[in-house]
Amino acid sequence: MSETPIKFSDAAIETIDNIPTTLPVLPLRDVVIFPYMIFPVLVGRESSLRAANEALERGKNIFLVAQKSASIDEPTADDVYLQGTVAKIIQMLKLPNGLMKILVDGVVQASVKRFLPTTSFLEAEVILNKTEATAGHDIDALVRHASTLFQEYVKLSRNVPPEVLMAFEGIKEPHRKLYYMAANLVQSVDIKQRILQTQHVREQLYELSKILTTEIDILKIEREIDTKVQDNIQKSQRKFFIQEQIRILQDELGDDEASPELAKLKEQIQKAKMPKEAEEKAMEEFNKLKKTPPMSPEFTVTRNYLDWLIAAPWIKRTKDNLDVEHVKNILDEDHFGLEKPKDRILEHIAVLNLVKEMKGQILCFVGPPGVGKTSLAKSIARALGRKFVRISLGGMRDEAEIRGHRRTYIGSMPGKIIQSMKRAGVVNPVMLMDEVDKMSMDFRGDPSAALLEVLDPEQNNTFSDHYLDV
């Protein structure tokens, strides 16, 4: 059934003196009825149907009260408010499903004096609120103040139609203005009930003004928050649309250099002197980057990947100093004793002098902490004139720390090998893998298995990092 809008009667159907003081009580869910308010009520509970039928037989007067909790199906006297509105049933319609729809017209405020011991429905003896608004400057001032607040409230609220103000302008009596404003408040039952619990128009206007002031402050804050959110959304959308237009124009013109940032990136790729396979991969990712909106997460992922490709030292290397006498002097200068390790290192340098194309060799230093394993590696780097980098493998559990993470993962990075080369800035540093014996394994893999390729001279010259994938 379509919902009937709230209406207000032009005049009371009957005088207050003709209303009996003992009336059937109809509990309402989630609604507060005020005097002069015409409102449709759907009656479905057995006790409510009996109360409505009793009212129709007695003269159509019924006492409407709000339930304290809408979840109660069979409310008792303790489950309803004691203040409500006496209303007249002006129309009744029985529906095919057994429900009854009644149209009620609020007549006067009333409060419960006592509930009568009726078993089939709620019935109460009520006290009618016959206090009328007295003329006076204080009442006029309160009405004017509340009216101003109400007009501001309607303009700010999205739930109250503007037509409400047109009907409001035609109401003259202070108490009718009061009830009209209260009925059109989009508020909870307990807040609206505060107006019915006050008996005099002056106090009711005070209470209404407080409610309106609080609600206006809340609506202003909501409007301010909504404005800020909309501004941010519009700025983001505007930026996105402009970037898309620029991208489309670039595609139409075939102009790759329209963006200074992208032009600089392309120049860096060309100057990096990558191997052919790596350069082809970089240009493929660069072309993909040009068509990706900067706000997209994929843009950042691709840009980081290209930065790593550019930063990798593809051809930069240091020239080795293979003078055996020079190496011996450096080793003796840095270490006293350790004759056997020094002799083995010198033998290795002598072999490098004879075999120029020899693949990178692996030296394994074994010994307790503090005997000079790390310092020997530093001395070798200093003697050869190479950069030195150290990778600590102690406690490493994940194979990806060596081989790198796949680019599909958030926060993925190259492995320790590539990171160390980037830090050294050359492809031939002396790389110390410290604490190899302290690696561990878990469900993520065994990093020692990944070291097999790194430490095998036949394989390590073709080592491939999962992140760079070239």
Query: What pLDDT shows up at residue 1?
Result: 36
Rounded alpha-carbon distances, angstroms, from residue 450 to 116, 356, 367, 446, 468: 88, 28, 23, 7, 16
Question: Hey, what amino acid is at 52?
Answer: A
Flag whether 381 is in a domain.
yes
Last residue of a domain, one of 128, 162, 193: 128
Flag whether 467 is in a domain.
no
Query: What pLDDT shows up at residue 102?
Result: 92
Strand partners, 66: 28
Question: Dihedral sign, CA of 401, 403, 409, 410?
Answer: positive
Flag whether 317 is in a domain.
no
Query: What pLDDT shows up at residue 6?
Result: 52
Tokens matching residue 246 = 């620029």
Q: Within this chain, do residues 300 and 393 fall inside the same structural domain, yes or no?
A: no
Q: Which helix (H) or strand (E) holds 103?
A: strand 100-115
Q: Within this chain, do residues 299 and 370 fall inside the same structural domain, yes or no?
A: no
Last residue of a domain, one of 66, 98, 128: 128
Helices (H) and strands (E) in the chain, counts: 15, 9
Q: Are 189 and 75 in contact (CB under 8 A)?
A: no
Flag whether 318 is in a domain.
no
Q: Tell me the C-alpha distance between 39 and 198, whole Å.
A: 22
Q: Within this chain, do residues 364 and 431 fall inside the same structural domain, yes or no?
A: yes
Q: Within this chain, do residues 240 and 262 fall inside the same structural domain, yes or no?
A: no
Q: Are 285 and 316 in contact (CB under 8 A)?
A: no
Give the count of domains, the chain.
4
With a CB cutoff of 8 Å and minimum separation 6, the contacts of 376 are 331, 334, 335, 338, 341, 345, 365
Q: Within this chain, do residues 340 and 454 fall inside the same structural domain, yes or no?
A: yes
Flag whether 405 is in a domain.
yes
Tokens matching residue 154 = 């309607």
Q: Within this chain, do residues 227 and 213 fall inside the same structural domain, yes or no?
A: yes
Q: Within this chain, do residues 245 and 198 fall inside the same structural domain, yes or no?
A: yes
Q: Within this chain, do residues 307 and 367 fall inside the same structural domain, yes or no?
A: no
Flag whether 470 is in a domain.
no
Q: Within this chain, do residues 349 and 457 fall inside the same structural domain, yes or no?
A: yes
Three-state DSSP state, 20: coil
Residue numbers of the domain that contains 266? 256-311
Flag whether 353 is in a domain.
yes
CATH number at residue 240: 1.20.58.1480
Q: Are 374 and 380 in contact (CB under 8 A)?
A: no
Question: pLDDT below 50 — which residues of the chain?
Answer: 1-5, 11-13
Query: What pLDDT shows up at residue 80?
Result: 92
CATH number at residue 451: 3.40.50.300
Q: Within this chain, do residues 41 and 74 fall inside the same structural domain, yes or no?
A: yes
Query: What pLDDT shows up at residue 62?
Result: 93
Q: Tell me the C-alpha distance between 439 and 141, whole Å.
A: 84
Query: What pLDDT shows up at residue 2?
Result: 36
Last residue of a domain, one of 128, 147, 176: 128
Flag whether 111 is in a domain.
yes
Q: Within this chain, do residues 274 and 343 fall inside the same structural domain, yes or no?
A: no
Q: Within this chain, do residues 266 and 346 fall inside the same structural domain, yes or no?
A: no
